[in-house]
């Protein structure tokens, strides 16, 4: 599983001009799911995400988590995080989870995140989404379950 975590001042997801999710201060998280991912892996990733101290404290040190700053989450499914670009110029996505399995784990991530950070906002699995955000910092972190 891969998360691309962006600390944002605001972010929103639109589909055909309709907003499906919108947050102010918080984290916009792109979620890539591989065929080998499980709920146990998701739990580990979610725990790391929720407890990650990447917001500034009163001394401008990155010491605070999303809950410490009353931040929000915008979770976006992103199978292209499993693009394999080793051969040629056209990426292969064979490492990405099958749609049914990946959607189930994406929905699980939403549910579990909402328990820790109520009011989770989302994109729509498999949709042609437009993501607009203002990255704060910029501050972007890539979490890969293979490296945790």
List the chain pLDDT tens, one digit each, 148 residues: 999 999 999 999 999 999 999 999 999 999 999 999 999 999 999 999 999 999 999 999 999 999 999 999 999 999 999 999 999 999 999 899 999 999 999 999 999 999 999 999 999 999 999 999 999 999 999 999 999 9
pTM above 0.85, yes or no: yes
DSSP string, 9-47: EEEEEEETTEEEEEESSEEEEEEE-BTT--HHHHHHHHH
pLDDT given for residue 23 in this prediction: 98
C-alpha dist (Å) from residue 83 to 6, 75, 95: 19, 19, 7
Catalytic residue annotation: 78-80
User: CB 76: neighbour CB atoms within 10 A?
Assistant: 22
pLDDT given for residue 89 in this prediction: 93
């Amino acid at each position: 599983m891969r998360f691309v975590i962006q600390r944002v001042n605001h972010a929103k997801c639109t589909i055909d001009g309709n907003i499906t999710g919108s947050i102010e201060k918080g984290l916009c998280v792109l979620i890539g799911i591989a065929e080998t991912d499980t709920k146990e892996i998701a739990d580990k990733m979610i725990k790391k995400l929720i407890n990650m101290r990447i917001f500034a404290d009163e001394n401008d040190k990155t010491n605070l988590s999303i809950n410490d700053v009353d931040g929000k989450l915008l979770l976006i499914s992103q199978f292209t995080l499993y693009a394999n670009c080793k051969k040629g110029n056209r990426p292969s996505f064979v490492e990405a989870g099958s749609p049914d399995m990946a959607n189930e784990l994406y929905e699980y991530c939403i549910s579990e995140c909402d328990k820790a950070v109520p009011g989770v906002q989302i994109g729509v699995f498999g949709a042609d989404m437009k993501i607009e955000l203002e990255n704060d910092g910029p501050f972007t972190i890539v979490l890969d379950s293979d490296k945790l």
